[in-house]
């Protein structure tokens, strides 16, 4: 259902230094890049995540109530991604652990302030 999600950034190279190692844990790599931004994914028919300067030329800002959720294969990947996000300068928004009785998740904000969650099924 979702083709891609785009997050705005005022400093794409800085965002790339954050997302390159983080998304590599999930097997994602850069699928395309331009002067405007970069998109990462695991394959041409899979959903991707892009970081771009806004096309309207205005300053990028964080969407209140917006959160992107990344699917991880197992608890270890969730834990590793959360720890790596913090190591790379991200902000903790919720340590890894069970959520809602059905998944294992962790929350963080990227360098531009966007909220992300990484999760897997509780039984994974």
Share of the chain above pLDDT 70, in %: 100
Helical residues (DSSP H) of the chain, grouped into ranges: 12-24, 75-87
| Phi, psi angles (nearest 5°) of residue 79 | -65, -45
- 44-87 pLDDT tens trace: 999 999 999 999 999 999 998 899 999 999 999 999 999 999 99
Burial letters for 92-111: b for 16+ Cβ neighbours within 10 Å, e otherwise? eeeebeeeeeebbbbbbbbb
User: What are the extents of the domains in the chain?
Assistant: 4-53+66-121
In this prediction the pTM is 0.91
CATH topology of domain 4-53+66-121: 2,3-Dihydroxybiphenyl 1,2-Dioxygenase; domain 1 (3.10.180)
SS3 (DSSP) at 67: strand
Burial of 58 (0-12, 13-18, 19+ CB in 10 A): exposed
Rounded CA-CA distance 65/44 in Å is: 29
Residue 83 contacts by C-beta under 8 Å, 6 or more apart in sequence? none
Residues in the chain: 124
Cβ atoms 30, 44 nearer than 8 A: no
Token pair of 74, please?
């197992």
Give the model's pLDDT for residue 26. Answer: 97
């Amino acid at each position: 259902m979702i083709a891609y999600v785009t997050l705005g950034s005022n400093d794409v190279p800085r965002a790339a230094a954050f997302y390159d190692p983080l998304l590599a844990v999930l097997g994602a790599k850069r699928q395309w890049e331009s002067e405007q931004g970069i998109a990462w994914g695991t394959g041409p028919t899979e959903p991707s995540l892009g970081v771009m300067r806004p096309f309207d030329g205005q300053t990028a800002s964080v969407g209140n109530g917006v959160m992107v959720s990344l699917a991880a294969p197992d608890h270890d990947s969730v834990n590793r991604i959360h720890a790596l996000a913090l190591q790379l300068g991200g902000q903790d928004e919720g340590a890894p652990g069970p959520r809602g009785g059905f998944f294992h998740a962790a929350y963080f904000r990227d360098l531009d302030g966007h909220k992300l969650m990484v999760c897997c099924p509780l039984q994974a």
